[in-house]
């Protein structure tokens, strides 16, 4: 074998091993349950809560920032989908096969664009990427709206707040409501590394009319 070819082969193997290591690290990084807090409302002891999508639920079932407490809707599980993406579900609704979904912010979308838990399915609005920021914070983006540079934003739960406080996908910007801490239940936040290069996206989720 020529030297150049051998070096090329070694380099290719190194790339594969590095990719495998990143994948394994990513998969092991999020085991168990986590709480999600924003820089904006962590000082007030607020956590993201995933609710049941139902007219009788708070905000119709949209996820929202509530007092951190011992409820299963605030315990989030990250299910590794490969290529740097995760599906998110809660201890409360994972037995029902529900996954967190980020939608278009518009009147014709479910809950006018509020993020919510829907049936787990192969839609790009349920594939979440964790984007590292400084000081242990991350941004949360979906495969669906990542090309439009949208990030999940946690709002204040109040009648006069935007969407009355529903979490929603907005333009990624320098606001504290888009900077998230992912904290293990009963522990400190894990170190966040940059995600692997994503694969080609699945078909984008179509906006769905509000019920």
The answer on pLDDT for 166 being more than 90 is no
Token look-up 């119709």 returns: 60
Q: How far apart are CA 44 and CA 125, in angstroms?
A: 29
CA of residue 25 relative to chain centroid, distance: 18
Show the tokens assigned to 18.
């590095």
**Residue 59: per-residue pLDDT:** 65
Contact between 157 and 164 under an 8 Å Cβ cutoff? The reply is: yes
Q: What percent of the chain has pLDDT over 70?
A: 66
| Segment among 59-63, 68-72, 123-127, 128-132 with least mean pLDDT | 59-63
Any residues with CB less than 8 A from the CB of 47 and at least 6 apart, and which?
A: 35, 36, 37, 65, 66, 67, 68, 69, 74
The answer on pLDDT for 3 being more than 60 is no
The b/e string for 98-117 (b: 16+ C-beta within 10 A; e otherwise) is bbbbbbbbeeebbbbbbbbb
Question: Which DSSP state fits 78?
Answer: E
Closest Cα partner for 60 from 112, 126, 127, 2?
Answer: 112
| Segment among 4-13, 167-176, 187-196 with least mean pLDDT | 4-13
Q: What is the arithmetic mean of pLDDT over 57-73?
A: 86
């Amino acid at each position: 074998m020529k030297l150049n070819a051998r070096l090329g082969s070694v380099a290719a193997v190194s790339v594969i091993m590095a990719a495998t290591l990143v994948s394994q690290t990513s998969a092991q990084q999020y085991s168990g349950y986590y709480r999600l807090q924003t820089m904006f409302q962590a000082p007030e002891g607020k956590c993201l809560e995933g609710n049941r999508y139902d007219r009788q639920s708070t905000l119709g079932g949209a996820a929202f920032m509530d007092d951190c407490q011992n409820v299963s809707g605030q315990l989030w599980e990250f299910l590794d989908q490969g290529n740097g993406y995760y599906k998110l579900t809660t201890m409360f609704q994972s037995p029902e096969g529900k996954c967190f979904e980020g939608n278009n912010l518009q009147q014709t979308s479910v809950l006018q664009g509020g993020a919510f838990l829907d049936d787990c399915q192969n839609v790009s609005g349920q594939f979440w990427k964790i984007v590292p920021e400084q000081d242990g914070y991350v941004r949360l983006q979906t495969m669906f709206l990542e090309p439009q540079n949208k990030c999940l934003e946690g709002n204040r739960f109040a009648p006069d707040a935007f969407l009355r406080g529903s979490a929603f996908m907005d333009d990624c910007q320098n606001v504290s409501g888009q900077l998230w801490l992912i904290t293990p239940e009963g522990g400190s936040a894990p170190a966040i590394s940059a995600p692997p290069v994503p694969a080609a996206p699945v078909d984008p989720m179509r906006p769905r009319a509000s019920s």
